[in-house]
Structure 1
Amino acid sequence: MDGQKKGIGKGELIALIVSSCIGTGIFGITSDVAAAAAPGPALLAWIFVGLGFLMLVLSLNNLSEKRPDLTSGIFSYAGAGFGPLGEFISGWSYWLSAWLGNIAFATMLMSSIGTFFPTFKGGQNLPSIIVAIIFCWLLTILVNNGVESASFVNMIGTICKVLPLVIFIIMMVVCFKAGMFTTDFWGRVANNASQGTTTGSVWEQMKGTLMTLIWVFIGVEGASVMASRAKSLTAAREASLISFGLLVIIYVLISILPYGTLTRAELAGMGQPAIGHVLQATVGNWGSILINVGLIISTIVSWLSWTMLPAETTMLVADDKAMPKVWGKVNAKKAPTASLMITAVLQTIFLFSLLFTDKAYEFAYSLCSAAILFSYLFVGLYQMKYSSAHQEWGQFTIGLLSAAFMFACMFLAGWQEVLLVSISFIPGFYIYYLACKENDRKVTTAEKWTMALILILSVIAIWLVANGTIAIS
């Protein structure tokens, strides 16, 4: 029986889910989508990605209802379905995605600050990287001392994040020109007006947007976790689906409406944060100031929360004995010091590497998106396995579509990034071996074959980078 209990109401839960899912990605989506696709292919890409993530949300809702005993996040689904190695791969990928997302936060933050202080313009020069590293370590130290984002801080971040987006949508509607929007709607015309953009096949344009669209949906898995706080299971399921629908509407409006205010080439040439530049070109400097002030505040608040997320990931996986205990060991303030410090060091190293990357923000979020696809894939696969065992064929189909979507994104749009992510498993599998040794568990033959396959992919990735096939610059 779906009994009532103390908890968050449906309306409050919807607001919580939407605000937690909207991150910095939406502030930069306009130029990246315009560079890859004209309005028609972009809309088709949104339909494709929206349906794919809907299957993921439905799978998460079903599994959280059917397996409330699995408390280690989405990694526990991989563990329940495919053993300790499955949980490790899922958790490792999620951990990698989380701190790579922080790299994207850093470049977007410094780009925004560059609006007011030209020294940081672009967000990836040496001064920007040094300040970003200082931010990284300050936030790490704060979290290590037990300082997490309180509710009032999150409220400030939410207001600063949502208010500029609402104003942006209103201004885009007011300034919208139907004639400009429909000009070369399918992106088939190659001319001076489309310079710097992809033209030609609708399918090729759709593929070019996939990693960008996946990036803005990262965090949607949190909906199923937060939905568990609802007053009833019915309210939880309804809030999860309604919030997902609202997210899709917001994302589509912000990425599509600008096609009716500026040319596609102009949109594609915008720096980051793109919607700040779009608003500046549309209404003047006050638009850029509004967007950038809101973005700076909301990014710092989000970055504080996401500093804890990678550490929480390793804690959960270590508690399930798929990683060494040190990754989950907490200090007197209940913060996992070792995991926080390892993550901060890796972020520092990666930030310096952005000096050699033409588009730091895009590079960081592409790797972030590729990494999390592994975790999402396991959700669909376990949904299939669980539903098949219980002969729930409707749920099995949902899991199948979710898994197929993740596979499609890996192979169609992100194969280079997926190969780059596979390199991280070279040290990762050594850490898994240490966990097995620490817990007196033998690595099975099936696990050895799985690790060998992924390591072969990592060697191929290194070779492709070395010969220039995969360009990281």
Structure 2
Amino acid sequence: MASPSVDVAAATPSSTAAKKLTLPILIAMVVGSMVGSGIFSLPRTFGNATGPFGAIIAWCIAAGGMYTLARVFQSLAERKPKLDAGVYAYAKAGFGDYPGFLSALGYWVGSCIGNVSYWVLIKSTLGAFFPVFGDGNTIAAIIVASIGIWTFHFMILRGIEQAAFINTVVTVAKILPILTFILILFFAFKFDLFRANFWGGTGMPEASLFDQVRATMLVTVFVFLGIEGASVYSRLAQKRSHVGVATIVGFLGVTTLMVLVTLLPYGVLERPEIAGMRQPSMAAVLEAVVGPWGAVFVSVGLLVSVLGAYLAWSLICAEVLSVAAKNRDMPKVFATTNENRVPAAALWMTNIIVQIFVISTYWSNDAFSLMLNLTSVMALIPFLLVAAYGLLLTKRGETYTTRPHEKTRDMIFAGIALIYTLFLIYAAGMKFLVLSAILYGPGTILYVWARREQGKSLFTPLELFIFIVTMIGCGVGIHGLATGYITI
């Protein structure tokens, strides 16, 4: 990122033009946001759920669905150039203030939880060498993660230009261990073993193909988060068309990496071995193939990758909250910037939330899986509203007076993206939906705060209905946790 600030609007025209984001930087934002902790957990996650056949079906569904969603982001970036911070802005434009707020809240809180998963996996990785860190949720792990959170916090406060430069360098550096893993497993690949695992292997519980695929859906959402990274920074792009190009290029490249990381382990190990490995399972797989140095090599790559992704997502979190405040959909305090023109209040709020969730991992049985699933579920409502808005534009014919021949194509992409996100909500299951409601419900306080500041009424009748449903879900979730019916 060439700009030292997210508040580009305050810059002079000449300085703004000079500091806009180039296409390679936007691609690096997409790749840097997507390649984080998730890709290093794929072998075990898929090994637990399915064999190669189910994995292929799952990736076809996930990649196809996310591709259509990426095309919706691309279309909206070109047709609605005045809407900034994509995910949140599209929901508000299409469906009103409160749904737009929920989209911003869900995307922001989900991103915060995703940042927590990074710290859990970092400590779990170190736990393979230093038992004091356990699976990433011990007291020692929480203390070290807390130090890391606030170290990054104060670095970003010094200026986003420095932080974004580090992100670009890290994005390039962290791809190397993943490519090395793929290359080594390619040469060690045994077709007989892959064939034996293909339909599910032996020694694993029986499950229908549908259930196998469904079990992988939330992790595929998690690893695809970041596909909208260029859209979030759309207002900083040198050209609006670069936003769509960066989204598609980043998506195709990262998808190829994730599919290979998922499928190749089935050709070197039995499925039960893969399913029983500790996270990060990519390190455990390489260790099984080449010896202890493989675990060290991947672990170092993971640390670089996750820290880089954490930096990228810290920037995105602060940007989303800050832009929502500037548009008067969050309390105005979050729109303030410091002397380095960094959205300081938004960054403080983001990292306070991250800190609270890091502490909460102490009481979780599987902190990484919990944070991964919660992150994915919190992203589903924003993605659903983006797909619905894309479909709404095509049905109205809005913005299609120019290039009207693209309307049918865009309608098909938006329709498939909408069906895909609805399927994801079903696949998530009731447990994580009510857990997300626990976050959406109290979060509405921020909406009430912002509306009171402006002297506006709180809800329209439809918005009141949405709020009541959200609070019912919140109550059910709290009761489930209190009674032990829902476990984390």
Q: Same fold (TM over 0.5)?
A: yes
2: distance between equivalents of 1:37 and 1:440? 54
1:471 paired to 2:478: no
Amino acid at match of 1:440: G
Asked if 1:109 is matched to 2:109, the reply is no
Whether the 8 Å CA contact 1:186–1:202 is kept in 2: the answer is no
In structure 1, the residue corresponding to 2:457 is in which secondary structure?
coil
Deviations 1:328-367 (A, max 9, x none): 2222232333333333232222222212212111111110
Which moves more between the two structures, 428-437 or 411-420?
A: 411-420
Quote the Cα distance in structure 1 between the aligned partners of 2:394 and 2:252: 25
Q: Alpha carbons of 1:159 and 1:45: their partners in 2 closer, same or farther (altered >3 Å)?
A: same
- Are 1:216 and 2:218 an aligned pair? no
Q: CA RMSD in A?
A: 2.4
**Conserved 8 A contact 1:99-1:310:** yes
Q: Indicate the residue corresponding to 1:362 in structure 2.
A: 369
Deviation at 1:322, TM superposition (A): 1.0
- Residues 184-218 of structure 1, C-alpha deviations (whole Å, 9 max, x = no match): 4222x6x5x33xxx532011110111111111000
Q: Is the CA contact (8 Å cut-off) linking 1:276 and 1:289 kept in structure 2?
A: yes
Offset at residue 327 of structure 1 (A): 2.1
Residues of 2 paired with 1:470 and 1:449: CA distance? Answer: 25
**Alpha-carbon distance in 2 for matches of 1:185, 1:300:** 34
Which residue, 86, 93, 109 being the options, matches 2:106? 93
Shift of 1:37: 1.1
Q: 1:248 aligns with which of 247, 255, 264?
A: 255
C-alpha distance 287-156 of structure 1, shift in aligned 2 (>3 A):
farther
1:316 is aligned to 323
Distance (Å, rounded) in 2 between the aligned partners of 1:18 and 1:462? 36
How far apart are 1:227 and its partner, in Å?
7.6
- 1:176 matched to which residue of 2? 189
Residues 164-243 of structure 1: pairs in structure 2 closer than 5 A: 164-187=177-200, 193-194=203-204, 198-224=205-231, 237-243=244-250
Question: What corresponds to 1:412 in structure 2?
Answer: 427
Distance 1:161 1:52, change over 3 A: same
Residues 1:460 and 1:78: Cα distance change in structure 2 (over 3 Å): same
Q: Give the drift of 1:470.
A: 2.4
Alignment CA distance shift 1:269-1:92 (3 Å): same
User: Separation in 2 of the partners of 1:11 and 1:426?
Assistant: 39
Q: Deviations over 1:302-338 (max 9, x none)?
A: 3233223222211111111111111222222323333
> Does structure 1 residue 263 correspond to structure 2 residue 270?
yes
Instruction: Name which of 381, 386, 392 aligns with 2:393.
Output: 386
SS at match of 1:203: helix
Alignment of 1:9-88 (within 5 A): 14=27, 17-88=30-101
Distance 1:54-1:272 versus aligned 2 partners, 3 A rule:
same
Structure 2 partner of 1:436: 451
Q: 2:91 touches 2:100 (CA, 8 Å); kept in 1?
A: yes
- Unpaired runs of 5+ in structure 2? 1-16, 399-406
Aligned in 2, Cα 1:12/1:449: closer, same or farther, shift over 3 Å?
A: closer
Q: Tell me: CA distance 1:124–1:217, structure 2 relative to 1, closer, same or farther (3 Å).
A: same
**How many Å apart are 1:426 and its aligned residue?**
2.3
Q: Aligned residue for 2:360?
A: 353
Q: After alignment, is 148-157 or 21-30 more displaced?
A: 148-157
- Amino acid across the alignment from 2:62: V
Aligned AA (1:65): E
Matches within 5 A, 1:128-167: 128-146=141-159, 149-150=162-163, 152-167=165-180
- How far apart are residue 148 of structure 1 and its match? 5.5
Residue 464 of structure 1 and its aligned partner are, at CA, apart by 2.8
Indicate conservation of the 8 Å contact 1:227/1:239, yes or no: no
- Give the CA deviation at 1:281: 0.8
**Aligned-pair distance for 1:113?**
2.4
State the one-letter code of the partner of 2:394.
S
| Aligned match for 1:422, one of 437, 442, 447 | 437
Q: Is the 8 A contact 1:149 1:304 kept in 2?
A: no
Separation in 2, partners of 1:336, 1:12 = 21
Given the superposition, is the C-alpha separation of residues 229 and 71 from structure 1 closer, same or farther in structure 2, using an over 3 Å criterion?
closer
**Which position in structure 1 is the counterpart of 2:401?**
none
> What is the distance in 2 between the residues matched to 1:236 and 1:359?
36
Note if contact 2:85-2:233 (Cα within 8 Å) is conserved in structure 1: no
Q: Which sits farther off after the overlay, 170-179 or 424-433?
A: 424-433
2:32 and 2:167 in contact (8 A); partners too: no
Q: Tell whether the 8 Å contact from 1:370 to 1:414 is kept in structure 2 after alignment.
A: no
Q: Quick check: 2:384–2:418 contact (8 Å CA) kept in 1?
A: yes
Listed one character per residue, the Cα deviations across residues 91-118 of structure 1 (whole Å, up to 9, x for unaligned) are 0001111110111110111122234433
Supply the distance in 2 between the matched residues of 1:319 and 1:10 (Cα, whole angstroms): 26
CA distance 1:71–1:270, change in 2 (3 Å): same
Q: Quote how far apart the aligned CAs of 1:154 are.
A: 2.4
2-structure distance, mates of 1:342, 1:229: 23
Moved more, 380-389 or 341-350: 341-350
Q: CA deviation at 1:396?
A: 2.4
Give CA-to-partner distance per residue, 1:24-69, whole Å, 9 cap, x none.
Answer: 2111111111111111111101011111101111111111111101
Matched, 1:446 2:427: no
Q: Which moved more, 1:353-362 or 1:54-63?
A: 353-362
Describe the superposition over 1:110-136 as per-residue Cα deviations: whole angstroms up to 9, x where unpaired: 122234433224222111111111111
Partners of 2:111 and 2:232 in 1: CA distance: 17
Q: CA deviation at 1:280?
A: 0.7
Residue segments in structure 1 that go unaligned for 5+ positions in a row: none
Distance (whole Å) between structure 1 residues aligned to residue 50 and residue 193 of structure 2? 15
Aligned length: 462
State the TM-score, normalizing by the size of structure 2. 0.88
d(CA) in 1 for partners of 2:126, 2:464:
48
* 1:446/1:233 CA distance change after superposition, 3 Å: closer
